Amino acid sequence: MVKKIIIGIMILIFIILGYNPVMSYENKPMEESVQKAFRYSGAKINTININGWAIVQEKFIGIDLMKKWIEDIRKELNLENVKLTEKDYNTFREVKMEYSGDEKRVVVIFQSLHEDVPQTYLIVDEYLDDFQYINDKTDIERVFENYNKKPEISILCEGTFDGRKSYNELEAIKNKVINSIHGSVINEGYYGNFISTTAYSPEIKEYIAIGGEKININVALRYSSYDDKTHIYIGSPIITSEY
């Protein structure tokens, strides 16, 4: 009997100290959790955007130097048949490179601003049609490594459902998405044509803090009469584009 009690106590201690249901699924890369969350929505995927940005210089940089940097990145990523555009104003300069291929679209931008504090930004976007390459951020990270910078990375998945979803259907989809990654709702609102929710998931190691709250998943649903579809946007840590 004593032996059984000791074994029972040891099991209880293991449950309390050794088994933690949060620890069992935390610290996954955001792309893995976002992909899972989107699949739980049941929507058809249209576009996946992986965005990275960082300040690479605390200077106001000239167009020619930015064009040289763009060319270096083109070679680094082995991109051909790119489109280059540039803007040059008194306090703003930009060089943009766009590439469209069968597997993905890539946009690389250098922006230099001369305001209170002169700064030059590097922005890299990858656009994918499916989840095949969502787990590969190496191209983006490699570009920033050349400037000894770690980029701020966000991911946005956009998809659709046929027709218009009712409020209850939107709520059900949103709850399924957030529950799939063990998320806790931080803020949400319903604005007639769309619903938007921010949440925190312990599955995702990255997060931002807004108003003292951790946020790393953003879900929005919107009906469009233009194509008679309900659009869903799932972003991490937040949705960074218009919807």
CATH fold of 25-236: TBP-like (3.30.2030)
Q: How confident is the model at residue 9, as a pLDDT? A: 35
Place of tokens 């064009």: 67
Which pLDDT value is given to residue 26?
63
Q: Is the full-model pTM beyond 0.75?
A: yes
Q: Which long-range contacts (CB under 8 A, 24 or more apart) does 169-172 make?
A: 170/195, 170/221, 170/230, 171/195
| Interval 97-123: pLDDT, tens | 999 988 789 999 999 999 889 999 999
Q: What is the pLDDT of residues 14-38, one digit of tens each?
A: 333 333 334 445 677 788 899 999 9
